[in-house]
Amino acid sequence: MLDLFKNAKKAATKLRDLSSREKNEILQAWGQDLWARREEIIEANAKDLAYGEEIALNPGLMDRLRLNEDRIQGMIDGLKVVAGLEDPIGSVDKMVENENGLRIGKMRVPIGVIAIIYEARPNVTVDCAALTFKSGNALLLRGGKEAIHSNRKLVEILRKTLEDKNLDPNFVQFVDDPTRESSKALMEAVGYVDLLIPRGSASLIRACIDQAKVPVLQTGEGNCHIYIDETADLDMALAIVENAKTQRIGVCNAMESLLVHKKIGADFLRAFKEIQVKHGIKVHGDPGTCQILDAEEATEEDWGREYLAMECSCKFVDSVDQAIDHINKYSTGHSEVIVTNSYENSQKFLQKVDSACVYVNASSRFTDGGQFGMGAEMGISTQKIHARGPVGLEELTSYKYIIYGNGQVRK
C-alpha cells in the first residue's frame, strides 16, 4: 500500500501541471477506449455476476453490478459532460487590495490525493476518475470484492489511455485488495490521503468516521421527508409523493417519511391510499393516520429510519413549525420537501430546515450531481464541513491565497 500512496502523492504533484485542454482530451480518450474495449469490460463483469449469483447477492445489488453496452455508454456520456464543464482549478473569484496595497486573491487548487471506498457499482469507478482527474486530484479506488473484476478492467483501461498519452498512469490507482486491512490502511494514511470518501452502507461510513485519522467526507444516509402543507395543491402533492417514494426505492434521495397538515390530512390520505395500494407501500403511522391508512403504529425508532424499501413513516402535524421541528429532530440532513401554496410557509421551511437540500414543490429525487448540472458525483455529503449535498468538481477543490506585493512589511 505504501508504494501506492507514494505514487499517488507524486502523481498529484504532476497533475497540477496539466492544462484544462489536456485534461479534457484525456476524458474524451477514456470514452473512446472504454467503448473500443467494451467486450473485455462485459466479459470481466460476467465473472463478477457469476460470483454474485454464487453468493446469492440480492437483486438490487445484482442490478447495480451489471454492465452492458447501454450502461457503458452511460459512463461515456458522463465523461463527456464532465469534459464540457468549466475547470475550477486556477480560477480566482476576486482580488481585493488591502490598506497596505497588497492584492489578495483566493485561487482554487486541487485537494491532492482523494481515496474512495465503495461497494458494488462499477460505474462509480469511471465517475470518480472523471471528477478527480478534471479537478486535478490523484485517485485511489478501493472498490468492493463483488465488483473486483469489472473495476480492475476499467482501471486497466483508464491507466492504459494515460500511458498511451505519455502521462503518469498513477493519476488513477486501484487498490486491488478488497479487505478490511486495505480500508484501514486508507483511513490511517496521514500525509498521503488528503480526503477519504466512503460511499456505501451506513456501517461503512460510520467506521470511517470513527476510525479514520485522515479527513473524511460523510456521504449518504437519507431519511428524506415530504411535508404536505394545508395550502398544498393535492394533485401536485400526490404526484411528488408517488415519485419520491416509488420511482426508485433503494436510493438515498427517496422519501422515507410523510408529514401531512391535519387540516387537509383526511382528504390527502384518502387519495394517497390508492397509491399505497397500487405500489404496496407499508406504512408506519401515528394514531391519526392509522385510522385512515392501512398502517402499523409507528415506534419512536420508525421516525428515524431510512427504509430503502416500499415502506415509509407517516404523521399528522398541526403546523409548518411542527413539521420543521419533526424534520430537524429525525432527519439525516439529506433532502426535505414542502408542498405548499403559502409564500410564508415556503420561506419558513427553506430557512429553518437544516438539511443539505430543501425543496419547495418538487420531488426529493432530484438531489443528484447529474440533475444539479455537475455531470456526476462522488456522493451526497450530509455533513456541514467542507461540502454539503452532491459532491462534484468544485467540492473536490481547496484554495490558496495568492498575494501580490511590492515590498510591504508589517509595522
Q: Which residues bind its own copies (CB under 8 A)?
A: 13, 16, 90, 96, 98, 100, 102, 104, 107, 109, 111-112, 194-195, 209-210, 213, 215, 233, 236, 239-240, 242-244, 247, 328, 350-352, 354-363, 365-367, 371-373, 383-386, 388-389, 398-410
Q: How far is the CB of 375 from its own copies (least distance, A)?
A: 13
Return all residues near 73 (Cβ < 8 A) that are at least 6 apart. 35
Q: How far is CA 64 from CA 57, 95, 223, 251, in A?
A: 11, 46, 21, 11
Q: Grid coordinates in use for 272?
A: 394517497
Shortest distance in whole angstroms from residue 303 CB to its own copies: 16
Q: How far is the CB of 1 from its own copies (least distance, A)?
A: 20
CA distances from 368 to 204, 285, 335, 376 (A): 21, 29, 11, 8
Q: For residues 164 and 321, which CB has a smaller minimum distance to its own copies in the complex? A: 321
Q: Give me the least distance between CB of 204 and its own copies, in Å please.
A: 16
Residues 339, 229 contacting (CB under 8 angstroms): yes
369 close to 210: Cβ distance less than 8 angstroms: no
- Residue among 268 and 316 whose Cβ is closer to its own copies: 268
Neighbouring CB atoms inside 10 A of 238's CB total: 18
| 169 within 8 A of 141, measured Cβ to Cβ | no
- Grid coordinates standing for 48? 463478477
Minimum distance, C-beta of residue 43 to its own copies, in the bound complex (Å): 32
Contacts of residue 98, defined as CB under 8 A and 6 or more positions apart, other chains included, come to 104
Nearer to its own copies, 32 or 351 (CB): 351
Residue (63 or 297) nearer to its own copies, CB: 63
> Taking the complex as a whole, how short is the minimal distance between the CB of residue 164 and its own copies, in angstroms?
27
Closer residue to its own copies (CB): 105 or 288 = 105
The beta strands (E) that lie in 143-193 are given as 172-174
Our CB check for its own copies shows the closer of 83 and 358 to be: 358
- Say if CB 158 and CB 172 are below 8 A apart: yes
